Amino acid sequence: MDSFSFDLKAATDRWPLVFIFELFQVLFDRSFASAVVNSALATNLFYIPFLIRKGKDVPSRWISFVAGQPLGYRSSWPLSAFTHHVLVWWCAEQVYPGRLFTGYALLGDDILITDKKVACVYEHALSRLLFPL
């Protein structure tokens, strides 16, 4: 049996918010997705008095999250894990429509996929999401 192992780099820091938003919008509705993703994760601005950004004419001391989740956000890891599982299921659906896919193991930001076709679709999907491996 072939096995394909992937180690996501800085998973909770880089997991695309747009992916979380779109998934929650499909599962629930746009209002709930906006509440979870935009209100809690993306649109919060943080003032960092000592921050100096390189290459900026005017020092900007405000930051916000456009990928990943804020440090200490309690549902950060469950959101990443849940959406990661859904991504694997979607990849398997592209290869084996209508079949339950259990040929993978997900632990933290490490994943093992035991199907070459699904692993290829998974790797391509991550690259489309601009997620580094």
70: in domain = yes
Nearest to 15, CA basis, from 122, 131, 121: 131
> Whole-angstrom Cα distance, residue 52 to residue 11?
25
What radius of gyration, in Å, describes the C-alpha atoms of the chain?
17
17 occurs within a structural domain:
yes
Segment 47-92, tens digit of pLDDT: 777 766 666 655 567 776 666 665 556 666 777 788 889 999 999 9
Q: Which residues of 6-34 are buried (b: 16+ CB within 10 A; e: fewer)?
A: bebeebbebbbbebbbebbbeeeeeeebb
Residue 85 near residue 67, CB atoms below 8 Å: no
The domain containing residue 77 runs over which residues? 4-128
Is 133 domain-assigned? no
Neighbour count for residue 46 (Cβ, 10 Å): 11
Is 46 inside any structural domain? yes
Within-domain flag for 123: yes
17: pLDDT strictly greater than 90: no
- Residue 38 — pLDDT band, cuts 50, 70, 90? confident
Query: Is 12 inside a domain boundary?
Result: yes
- Number of domains within the chain: 1
Give me the count of residues in the chain.
133
pLDDT over 90 (residue 45): no
Kindly state whether residue 78 falls inside one of the protein's structural domains.
yes
Kindly report which listed range (24-38, 42-56, 97-111) carries the lowest average pLDDT score: 42-56
Residue 10 lies in a domain: yes
Half-sphere exposure of 20 (CA within 13 A, CB side): 27
CB atoms near residue 64 (< 10 Å) = 11
User: Would you say the C-alpha torsion 48, 11, 29, 72 has a positive or negative sign?
Assistant: negative
pLDDT digits (tens, 9 = 90+) for 108-122: 778 999 999 999 999
Q: What are phi and psi of 91, to 5 degrees?
A: -60, -45
